Each structure stands twice: as structure tokens, then as C-alpha cells.
């Protein structure tokens, strides 16, 4: 009977030893299964086999109190900069000022060509328009292209581009102007936007990476911003000086200083602190640029979120510095109504003798509302991205070519459009390409959308010249 009882007793669920007639003797591993009829100390003493002692109780570590943050350094005095002198390589020419609004027609002269304003700027993230050769886009009327310093830093790197003779030679775009950003926007938006798209495309082309793509931004200090490469996981530091040095190697006609991109929902005190840091970073960027201007122009970037007071302070400070032009960046609200309302108040504050660029906004519905404020150039990846996803921009609204109603639409996609796509192919063919998942669809729709945006801006310029806007 006793032998049968011993066999039937269960094993210890932690170390699988057999209980037999007593608890498992492996006290160090099975403490959760000791008798709990008295205090913890008495239980350990009773259950502890001879020759073994209980582990000493862990001492609670006192958390070190963080020292209070140091006060931010003061803003550089504008009087410490040299006065602005127009560059022989860059100038803004006013052609016509509308009598009806602040809208204007102008030309920006650069070492690699003229930019008619108001103008659309396509985004070539990795020094290329996705699915389209730059020459095809130029043939549809594109003049200025936007390239992203963040992505070019990760690959191929400034040394490779400089070895080719700069971006214009590297891309084979020697007679058209280029603009590069500082890389700050992508670093501060690593979890969404264009960086998210690049990560996904990298995964699709190379397979899953062993490097984590979450929490890539590691911290922001007065020195700069630390982040990890989404390509190989390497740690990098982007400072105002290193950003400008990279853009010098790239050789774009227009470059931008490093700035901070705070989120839309942020406390007023944090927004003000972020604005101060952006101003200090931009001043450092400008000093680095002025030490070696080459044939490049630098724009200051107006920040301040949705606060009109902070936007005014930003305009006042930056306009006192010798920038060649200005851009409006940062958060502009949660929707188009917020953004238009903000720019309606900000644009009258901007200097009128220099060009003004609107960062990240260039959709057909918004541009006619912003041009009357006096904005000159607009960049956005929306038109080309929409094309890659099967959407054509038309005067009647967006057209999704995947719709089954276009299966037998044997006519030009947009009647009267003079782009290569509409002159050569039918809507039924584009529908077929989308359904068959053919890459050619992305190329043809991107060509059309670039043509549509350039034609839209040309029409707006004609309306300004006629004082209709």
C-alpha cells in the first residue's frame, strides 16, 4: 500500500522532482511551493534542509534623482551674423503682383536653372522619383525636385555622392535645380510618413531585417538628435553642422537647416522650448553654411505650431538672419481647414523680397487656396504616391483605375490631357495593368500626375497674371 502511494504522488511543477512523502528539497527553485501556514521566515527555516541557507533578502535600490535640466542657451544674436548680401548664384525675380490678392508670379534663378513660381516640387526621396526617370518628369514640366538628406545619409552616403560630382551628376539631372532638406523631418517621424514607407519597401525587396525598426529615434539634446539606421541598425548623430556638411557634399541648389519637428498635441511650454531649440539649430546651420556657401542658398524654416504668437516670433527672429529664402514647416493643424487658416495669418508676416516655400503640402484641392496668400513653391509626395497606388488626378477629381467600370473604357484616361500617358494609352489598359499588378501602371500614372500638377500650377500663374486670383 505504501509503495503504491509513493508512486501516485505528483511531481514538483517547477523542477519535476517527485514529492514522495515530503516537499521537494530543491528550496532555491521551489520556494513558491513551500508550506505557507506561518510567516515567510519561519516557513523557510522549517523547509530548509541541513547544510543550506536561505538567500539574503534583496535590498531595495534607491532611485537616483535626476538633476534638474539645464536652462537652454540663449539665442544667437542676429547682429553677430553678417548682413544679407544677394548671391550672384541665387535670386528671386518678381514678375507680377496680383491686384486682387497677395498672389504673385516670379522666377527663382539657380545655378542649374530657373523655377517658375508658384510651382510644384516633386519629391525624389532617394534621389529618384519612384517608378519614373527624371527626364520623363522634366518633359512633363517639372522644374524643381526635392531629395531627402536622411535617406541619402544612410545610402549611398555623402562620400559616394560627392565622388560622383554631387547629386546633379549622380542623378544625371545636370540642368534642373534640386532642393535637399536637413534630415530632421524624417528623424522626428521615424514611425510614420515617408520613413515608414521606405522601411516597408526595404522589407519587401530584401526580406525581414534582423534590425528592429521601432523606437529608432534615441534622443534629442542641444547637440543634435541621435537615431538608429533602419537599414543596418547603426547608431548615428545628426547635428546642425553635420547636416549642412552632408548637404554641401550633395550640392543641391537650395538647402535647409536642421530643425525640430514637435508633434501636433504638445504642451505650450514644450512647444516654446522646441521653437527655441529649432532657432538655435538653424543659427548653427547658417553659420556652417556661410563659412562655405559655394553656390548654394539656404532657407530658414518658420515654426511655432498652431500658435500665431510663436509663429510671429519665429518670423521676426529668422528674418533678421541672412537667409536666402524661407519655408513654413512644423505642424499646421489636424486638417485642411486648420492649415489654411494658419497660413492665412502667417503669410502676411513673411518677408516679401525673398521666396517662400510651403513644406509638405501640394495637393490639387489645397493649392488654389494657398496661392492667393503669396506662397511660391510647394512640395509633396502625394501626387506621385497616389499614382503608384492607382489613382489619377484629374480636373473632375480623383479616378481609381482599378474600378470595374473601366474594364471596357477604350478611350484616353483624361480627355484633353496632353501627357504621354493620356496621348498613348486608354483607361481600359490602365485598369488592366492595375488588376494584373504590372509595375508599368505605377510609371504611367506617376507621369500623368506630375503633368497634371505642373499644368495646374501653370494655369494658376496665368490667372495671377490676369489678376483673376
Residue by residue, pLDDT tens for the chain (469 residues) are 444 444 444 555 545 554 444 455 554 444 444 444 444 444 444 445 555 555 666 667 777 777 777 888 999 999 999 999 999 999 999 999 999 999 999 999 999 999 999 999 999 999 999 999 999 999 999 999 999 999 999 999 999 999 999 999 999 999 999 999 998 888 777 644 445 555 565 555 555 555 555 567 668 899 999 888 877 778 889 999 999 999 999 999 999 999 999 888 899 999 999 999 999 999 999 999 999 999 999 999 999 999 999 999 999 999 999 999 999 999 999 999 999 999 999 999 999 999 999 999 999 999 999 999 999 999 999 999 999 999 999 999 999 999 999 999 999 999 999 999 999 999 999 999 999 999 999 999 999 999 999 999 999 999 999 999 9
Residue 75 lies in a domain: no
Residue 63 lies in a domain: no
Residue 77 lies in a domain: no
Residues 360 and 412 in one domain: no
Catalytic residue among 253, 324, 376, 379: 379
Work out the burial of residue 152: count CB atoms within 10 Å of its CB; fewer than 13 is exposed, 13-18 middle, 19 or more buried.
Answer: buried
CATH at residue 183? 3.20.20.105
Q: Which of 338, 362, 380 is the last residue of a domain?
A: 380
Residue 351 lies in a domain: yes
Residues 421 and 333 in one domain: no
- Residue 92's contacts (CB-CB under 8 Å, 6 or more residues apart) are 106, 107, 108, 109, 325, 353, 354, 355, 376
Nearest Cα residue to 414 out of 434, 392, 389: 392
- Residue 204's contacts (CB-CB under 8 Å, 6 or more residues apart) are none
Residues 189 and 109 in one domain: yes
Residues 223 and 364 in one domain: yes
Q: Give the structural domain span for 22.
A: 2-34
Residues 205 and 229 in one domain: yes
Catalytic residue among 181, 253, 259, 324: 181
Residues 12 and 127 in one domain: no
Active site residue 232: no
Tell me the C-alpha distance between 347 and 307, whole Å: 14
The SS3 of residue 115 is: strand
Residues 12 and 157 in one domain: no
Q: Which of 355, 380, 405 is the last residue of a domain?
A: 380
Please report which helix (H) or strand (E) contains residue 122, including its range. strand 119-123
Q: Which of 345, 380, 415 is the last residue of a domain?
A: 380
Residues 297-318: b if buried by 16+ CB within 10 A, e if exposed:
bbbbbbbbbbbeebbebbbebb
- Residue 338's contacts (CB-CB under 8 Å, 6 or more residues apart) are 306, 332
Report pTM: 0.83
Residues 399 and 376 in one domain: no
Count how many domains the chain has: 3
Residues 242 and 219 in one domain: yes
Tell me the C-alpha distance between 208 and 169, whole Å: 33
Residues 444 and 466 in one domain: yes
Tell me the C-alpha distance between 125 and 245, whole Å: 19
List of E strands, 163-281: 178-180, 217-220, 225-228, 235-238, 254-255
Nearest Cα residue to 15 out of 31, 37, 35, 1: 31
Residues 297 and 402 in one domain: no
Residues 301 and 352 in one domain: yes
Residue 44 lies in a domain: no
Please report which helix (H) or strand (E) contains residue 456, including its range. helix 440-465
Nearest Cα residue to 327 out of 342, 315, 310, 344: 315
Tell me the C-alpha distance between 392 and 384, whole Å: 10
Active site residue 268: no
Amino acid at each position: 500500500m505504501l509503495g503504491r502511494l509513493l508512486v501516485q504522488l505528483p511531481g514538483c511543477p517547477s523542477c519535476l522532482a517527485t514529492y514522495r512523502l515530503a516537499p521537494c528539497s530543491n528550496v532555491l527553485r521551489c520556494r513558491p511551493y513551500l508550506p505557507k501556514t506561518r510567516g515567510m521566515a519561519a516557513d523557510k527555516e522549517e523547509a530548509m534542509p541541513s547544510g543550506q541557507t536561505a538567500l539574503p533578502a534583496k535590498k531595495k535600490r534607491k532611485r537616483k534623482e535626476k538633476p534638474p535640466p539645464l536652462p537652454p542657451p540663449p539665442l544667437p544674436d542676429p547682429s553677430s551674423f553678417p548682413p544679407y548680401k544677394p548671391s550672384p548664384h541665387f535670386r528671386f525675380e518678381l514678375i507680377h503682383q496680383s491686384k486682387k490678392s497677395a498672389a504673385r508670379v516670379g522666377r527663382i534663378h539657380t545655378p542649374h536653372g530657373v523655377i517658375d513660381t508658384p510651382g510644384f516640387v516633386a519629391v525624389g526621396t532617394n534621389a529618384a522619383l519612384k517608378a519614373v526617370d527624371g527626364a520623363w518628369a522634366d518633359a512633363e514640366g517639372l522644374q524643381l525636385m526635392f531629395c531627402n538628406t536622411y535617406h541619402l545619409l544612410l545610402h549611398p552616403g555623402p562620400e559616394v555622392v560627392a565622388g560622383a560630382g554631387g547629386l546633379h551628376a549622380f542623378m544625371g539631372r545636370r540642368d534642373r535645380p534640386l532642393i535637399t532638406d536637413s534630415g530632421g523631418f524624417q528623424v522626428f517621424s521615424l514611425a510614420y510618413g515617408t520613413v515608414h514607407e521606405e522601411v516597408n519597401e526595404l522589407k519587401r525587396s530584401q526580406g525581414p531585417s534582423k534590425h528592429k525598426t521601432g523606437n529608432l529615434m534615441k534622443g534629442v539634446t542641444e547637440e543634435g538628435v541621435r537615431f538608429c539606421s533602419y537599414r543596418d541598425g547603426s547608431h548615428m548623430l545628426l547635428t546642425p553642422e553635420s547636416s549642412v556638411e552632408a548637404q554641401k557634399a550633395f550640392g543641391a541648389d537650395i538647402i535647409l537647416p536642421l530643425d525640430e519637428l514637435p508633434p501636433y498635441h504638445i504642451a505650450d511650454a514644450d512647444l516654446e522650448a522646441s521653437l527655441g531649440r529649432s532657432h538655435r539649430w538653424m543659427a548653427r546651420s547658417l553659420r556652417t553654411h556661410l563659412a562655405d556657401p559655394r553656390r548654394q542658398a539656404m532657407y530658414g524654416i518658420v515654426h511655432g505650431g498652431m500658435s500665431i504668437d510663436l509663429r510671429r516670433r519665429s518670423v521676426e527672429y529668422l528674418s533678421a538672419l541672412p537667409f536666402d529664402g524661407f519655408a513654413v514647416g512644423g505642424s499646421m493643424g489636424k486638417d485642411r481647414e486648420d492649415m489654411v487658416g494658419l497660413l492665412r495669418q502667417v503669410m502676411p508676416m513673411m518677408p516679401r523680397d525673398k521666396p517662400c516655400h510651403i513644406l509638405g503640402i501640394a495637393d490639387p484641392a489645397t493649392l488654389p487656396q494657398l496661392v492667393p496668400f503669396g506662397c511660391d513653391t510647394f512640395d509633396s509626395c502625394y501626387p506621385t504616391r497616389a499614382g503608384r497606388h492607382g489613382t489619377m488626378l484629374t480636373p473632375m477629381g480623383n479616378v481609381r483605375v482599378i474600378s470595374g467600370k473601366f474594364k471596357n473604357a477604350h478611350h484616353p484616361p483624361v480627355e484633353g490631357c496632353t501627357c504621354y500617358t493620356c496621348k498613348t494609352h486608354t483607361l481600359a489598359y490602365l485598369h488592366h495593368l492595375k488588376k494584373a499588378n504590372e509595375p508599368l501602371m505605377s510609371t504611367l500614372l506617376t507621369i500623368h500626375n506630375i503633368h497634371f500638377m505642373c499644368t495646374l500650377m501653370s494655369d494658376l500663374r496665368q490667372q495671377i497674371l490676369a489678376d483673376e486670383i
